[in-house]
Chains A and B, each alone.
Chain A
Amino acid sequence: MTITTSTLALDIKDLELAYVVRGINRPVLRGVSFSIKPGEAYGLVGESGCGKSTTAYAALRYMPRNGVITGGHILVDGDDITAMNRNQLREFRMHKASMVYQDPGTALNPTLKISKQLVEAFTILGQSRDHAHASAIAALQRVQIADPDRVMGRYPHQLSGGMLQRVVIAMALACDPKLLVLDEPTTGLDATVEAEVLDLVRNLRSETGAAILLIAHNLGVIRSMCDRVGVMYAGKIVEEGDASEVFDGPKHPYTVGLLRSLPRRGMHKRHAALATIPGSLPVLGSDLPTCVYVDRCPIVSDVCRNEVPPIAQLSSGHYTRCHHPDQVAKIDDLVPANLRDAGDQTVLQMEVSKTFRQSGHDVPALVGVNLSLTDGETLGLVGESGSGKTTLAKAILGVHAGDAGSRLTLDQHELASKITKRSTDDKRAMQIIFQNPDSALNASWTVRNILQRSVRKLTGKNKIDADARVAILAEHLRLSPRHLDMKPSQLSGGLKQRVAIARAFAGDPRIVVCDEPTSALDVSVQAAILNLLAELQSEQRTSYVFISHDLGVVRYLADRIAVMYLGRIMEVGTTDQIFGGVNHPYTEALLSAVPNLDGAPSRRIKLAGEIPSPANPPSGCVFHPRCPRAIAGLCETAEPPVVEVSVGHAIRCHIPPAELRALQSAN
Chain B
Amino acid sequence: MTDTTNLPAAGNEASDVLQRSLTERKTARRERWRLLRRRPGFIIGVVIVGIWVFCAIAGDRITPYDPFTDRDSKYCARPPCPPSGAHWFGTDQIGRDIMSRVMMGARDLLLVAPTAAVLALITGSVLGMVMGYYRGWVDNLLSRVVEAFLALPVVMVGILVLTLSRSSDLLSAISFDSRNVLIIYVVALLFTPIVARTVRATVLGERDLDYVVSARLRGESNLFIMTREILPNITGPIVVELTVRIGYSIFTVATLSFLGVGIQRPSPDWGLAIAESRDLLPADQWWPVTFPALAIATLVVAVNLIADSIQTVYER
With CB as the reference atom, state the residue of chain B lying closest to A397.
B217
Chain B interface bracket (under 10, 10 to 19, 20 to 34, 35 or more): 20 to 34
Q: Tell whether A432 is near chain B: CB-to-CB under 8 Å.
A: yes
Q: Tell me if A419 and B3 are in contact (CB < 8 A).
A: no
Q: Tell whether A284 is near chain B: CB-to-CB under 8 Å.
A: yes
Q: Tell me if B3 and A436 are in contact (CB < 8 A).
A: no
Q: Tell me if B17 and A482 are in contact (CB < 8 A).
A: yes
Contact with B along A427-444 (1 / 0, CB 8 A): 110111010100111111
**Chain A neighbourhood of B216, CB < 8 A:** 399, 419-420
With CB as the reference atom, state the residue of chain A lying closest to B216.
A419
Q: Tell whether B315 is near chain A: CB-to-CB under 8 Å.
A: no
Q: Tell me if A434 and B219 are in contact (CB < 8 A).
A: no
Interface centre among B5, B6, B211, B213 (most CB of A within 10 A): B211
Interface centre among B4, B25, B218, B220 (most CB of A within 10 A): B218
Bound CA–CA A432/B214 (angstroms): 8
Q: Tell me if B6 and A457 are in contact (CB < 8 A).
A: no
Q: Tell me if A453 and B214 are in contact (CB < 8 A).
A: no
Q: B24's contact among A434, A457, A486, by CB below 8 Å, is which?
A: A486
Q: Tell me if B214 and A503 are in contact (CB < 8 A).
A: yes
Q: A21's contact among B3, B218, B219, B229, by CB below 8 Å, is which?
A: B3
**Chain A neighbourhood of B24, CB < 8 A:** 486-487, 490
Bound CA–CA A482/B25 (angstroms): 12
Interface centre among B2, B6, B215 (most CB of A within 10 A): B6
Q: Tell me if B210 and A440 are in contact (CB < 8 A).
A: yes
Bound CA–CA A21/B5 (angstroms): 13
Q: Tell me if A21 and B6 are in contact (CB < 8 A).
A: yes
A440-B214, A458-B219 are known; give 20 further A-B pairs, CB within 8 A: A283-B6, A427-B218, A431-B217, A432-B213, A439-B209, A440-B210, A442-B211, A442-B215, A442-B232, A443-B233, A457-B218, A482-B10, A482-B20, A485-B18, A485-B22, A486-B25, A489-B4, A490-B5, A490-B24, A507-B218
Q: Tell whether B227 is near chain A: CB-to-CB under 8 Å.
A: no
Q: Tell me if A419 and B219 are in contact (CB < 8 A).
A: yes
With CB as the reference atom, state the residue of chain A lying closest to B4.
A490
Q: Which 4 pairs show the lowest CB-CB distances between chains A and B?
A: A444-B232, A440-B210, A485-B21, A434-B210
Chain A interface bracket (under 10, 10 to 19, 20 to 34, 35 or more): 35 or more
Q: Tell me if B25 and A444 are in contact (CB < 8 A).
A: no
Q: Tell me if A436 and B210 are in contact (CB < 8 A).
A: yes
Contact with A along B68-96 (1 / 0, CB 8 A): 00000000000000000000000000000
Which residues in chain B, 205-235, are within 8 Å of chain A measured between CB atoms?
A: 209-211, 213-220, 229, 232-233
Q: A440's contact among B21, B22, B211, B220, by CB below 8 Å, is which?
A: B211
Task: Give the B-binding residues of A (Cβ under 8 A).
Answer: 21-22, 283-285, 397-399, 419-420, 424, 427-428, 430-432, 434, 436, 439-446, 453-454, 457-458, 481-482, 485-487, 489-490, 503, 506-507
Q: A482's contact among B21, B28, B210, by CB below 8 Å, is which?
A: B21
Q: Tell me if B219 and A457 are in contact (CB < 8 A).
A: yes
Contact with A along B296-315 (1 / 0, CB 8 A): 00000000000000000000
Q: Tell me if B6 and A486 are in contact (CB < 8 A).
A: no
Bound CA–CA A432/B219 (angstroms): 13
6 contacts between A and B (CB under 8 A): A283-B6, A434-B210, A439-B210, A482-B21, A487-B24, A489-B28
**Chain B neighbourhood of A444, CB < 8 A:** 232-233
**Chain A neighbourhood of B213, CB < 8 A:** 399, 432, 434
**Chain A neighbourhood of B210, CB < 8 A:** 434, 436, 439-440
Bound CA–CA A481/B14 (angstroms): 10
Bound CA–CA A420/B24 (angstroms): 37
Bound CA–CA A503/B210 (angstroms): 13
Minimum CB–CB distance from B223 to chain A (whole Å) comes to 14
Bound CA–CA A506/B214 (angstroms): 12
Bound CA–CA A387/B233 (angstroms): 32
Bound CA–CA A260/B194 (angstroms): 56
Interface centre among A284, A397, A439, A503 (most CB of B within 10 A): A439
**Chain A neighbourhood of B214, CB < 8 A:** 432, 434, 440, 503
Minimum CB–CB distance from A492 to chain B (whole Å) comes to 8
Q: Tell me if A284 and B3 are in contact (CB < 8 A).
A: yes
Bound CA–CA A436/B211 (angstroms): 10
- Given A283-B6, A482-B21, check contact A427 B217 (CB 8 Å): yes
With CB as the reference atom, state the residue of chain A lying closest to B22.
A485
**Chain B neighbourhood of A489, CB < 8 A:** 1, 4, 28
Bound CA–CA A454/B219 (angstroms): 9
**Chain B neighbourhood of A441, CB < 8 A:** 211
Bound CA–CA A398/B213 (angstroms): 10
Which residues in chain B, 1-36, are within 8 Å of chain A measured between CB atoms?
A: 1-6, 10, 17-18, 20-22, 24-25, 28
Bound CA–CA A443/B231 (angstroms): 11
Q: Tell me if B10 and A399 are in contact (CB < 8 A).
A: no
Bound CA–CA A420/B18 (angstroms): 39
Minimum CB–CB distance from B94 to chain A (whole Å) comes to 56
With CB as the reference atom, state the residue of chain A lying closest to B10.
A482
**Chain A neighbourhood of B22, CB < 8 A:** 485
Minimum CB–CB distance from B216 to chain A (whole Å) comes to 6
Which residues in chain B, 28-69, are within 8 Å of chain A measured between CB atoms?
A: 28
With CB as the reference atom, state the residue of chain A lying closest to B221.
A420
Q: Tell me if B21 and A486 are in contact (CB < 8 A).
A: yes
**Chain B neighbourhood of A439, CB < 8 A:** 209-211
